A and B are shown apart, each in its own frame.
Chain A
Amino acid sequence: MRWAWLIPAFAALLCGAAVHAGPIEFDLHLNVPPVVADSQAPAGCTVTYLVADTANNDLFAARMRIASAETDTPTGNRMPCPANVPARVGVRALDTCQSREADPKYCVFADMSRGFESDTGIHNTSEIASRCSSDKFSDIGAACWMAGTKQVCDVACGASPAQATAQARLRCEGKQQHSCPITATVPVTSP
């Protein structure tokens, strides 16, 4: 009987342990980059979208890195990108603009249809044509013309900044039937 008090004491200790024995905390900071990076490792897949803020005539490059599968093998020191990218990735790319804009309707994909200046809805833009994958291209470019105060753009991919710009300009001038002298380009993959 002298040790009977130990039973509730043990019970209390076990209950305390049970409180802490829940699911493991999700964020274990496992995503902290390694201290030593392998500079020879093939570049992972990045899909970069160009998104436009039509209120400010701004362009954003939304870079989406996609983890490789264990079975993926590099080609030309570049990891492959998925053949199909789900729409939710594009939605996240748009959020790059929408989270900075008071009215999200001003945020659209940067590859715009002919006549976009008179109907500036997102339905008049192309998600697929607004993105480039790092397994095929190194640069993404845009070319635009000014319809009054509104910038109307189209997008293209290239193997160099000059090629991406030239392709975007060709696409814009062919599609919009206007000269498209306003150009911009960024690498698909972040440095």
Chain B
Amino acid sequence: MGWRPIAILLLLIAIQARAQLVATAADVPVRIFVPPPVQWDNAMLSFRPALQQTATDFANLTGGLAFGMAPARANASLTNPYPGLSWDDLPLANEYPGEVRYFGVPVDRAGLLRMNMTACAGTGSYLALLFSTKGLFRLSYRLIADKACPDTNEAAREIFSRYVQIGQSVADSNRYVTGKTQVVDVTDPTARILSPIRWHQVGN
């Protein structure tokens, strides 16, 4: 007797603890976002985008929608355009300085702009197209959780992952949460003053 049983007991406890750590749950795969690569010189002193991307790459992704389009033209490029839409009829987006107007499209009727999303998005989710006097400057996906879809994070990730592949000199994409809503904003990089402004959900 003496120290031997204690040593064996401690050894058994250690083995049990290790076994618990090793016997982990199955992998839960998550997404890694992949922006376009950066090219460095050999001395790693300077860099530039490794890919030549243009507004055409963005238009290919959005089914023809491009920054700078007037509301009527942007509307015409949608899968389900609104009849007779004009600048004067659009509501003001009051979170922005100056005159910014918008219209919304339900995400489930957004055609190519759904970005082949497979995860659930709440039934009230929509895509806001925001216009300054210079034309379209932002696409804002607002994915609102509801009882049928209590978490829209995966849907936001799916949409974001598509836009992240476009360089920020062509389309500046970011995502955030406000209230119960996941937001993915895709902004014209030339709209500098309007770019940092974020939408805040009211009433959550």
Interface residues of chain A, those whose CB is within 8 Å of chain B, are: 31-33, 46, 50, 55-56, 58-69, 82, 85-86, 88-89, 92, 96, 99-102, 142, 144, 165, 169, 173, 177, 179-186, 190
Contact = CB atoms under 8 A, between A and B. Distances in A.
B35 A67 contact: no
B84 interface: no
A64 B37 contact: yes
Interface of B: 21-22, 24-35, 37-42, 44, 47-48, 50, 52, 157, 160, 164, 168, 172-177, 196, 198
Given A65-B37, A101-B174, A184 B44 contact: no
B174 A100 contact: yes
Contacts of B47: 64, 92
Contact of A181 (B24, B35, B40, B48): B24
Interface of B is mostly: mixed
Given A92-B38, A102-B198, A179 B30 contact: no
Top 3 A-B residue pairs of the complex, sorted by shortest distance between their CB atoms:
A63-B37, A179-B24, A100-B174
B42 A86 contact: no
A67 B40 CA distance: 6
Contact of A182 (B21, B30, B34): B30
A59 B32 contact: yes
A31 B21 contact: no
A66 B198 contact: no
13 contacts: A31-B48, A60-B35, A63-B50, A65-B39, A67-B40, A68-B42, A92-B38, A102-B176, A179-B21, A179-B24, A181-B24, A181-B26, A182-B27
A144 B24 CA distance: 12
A101 B196 CA distance: 10
A8 B40 CA distance: 49
Contacts of A177: 21
Contacts of A69: 42
Nearest to A70: B42
A133 to B, nearest CB: 13
Contacts of B44: 66, 82, 85-86, 88-89
Contact of B52 (A33, A64, A85): A33
B177 A62 contact: no
A67 B41 contact: yes
Nearest to B33: A60
B21 A61 contact: no
B32 A61 contact: yes
A65 B47 CA distance: 9
Contacts of B31: 59, 184
A56 B30 contact: no
B32 A183 contact: no
Nearest to B177: A56
A180 B24 contact: yes
A49 B35 CA distance: 12
Contacts of B48: 31
Looking at B41, B47, B157, which has the most chain A CB atoms within 10 Å of its CB? B47
A59 B40 CA distance: 22
B204 to A, nearest CB: 17
B24 A142 contact: no
A144 B157 CA distance: 17
B27 A165 contact: yes
Nearest to B165: A190
B24 A50 contact: no
A89 B40 contact: yes
Most buried by B among A60, A100, A144: A100
B32 A50 contact: yes
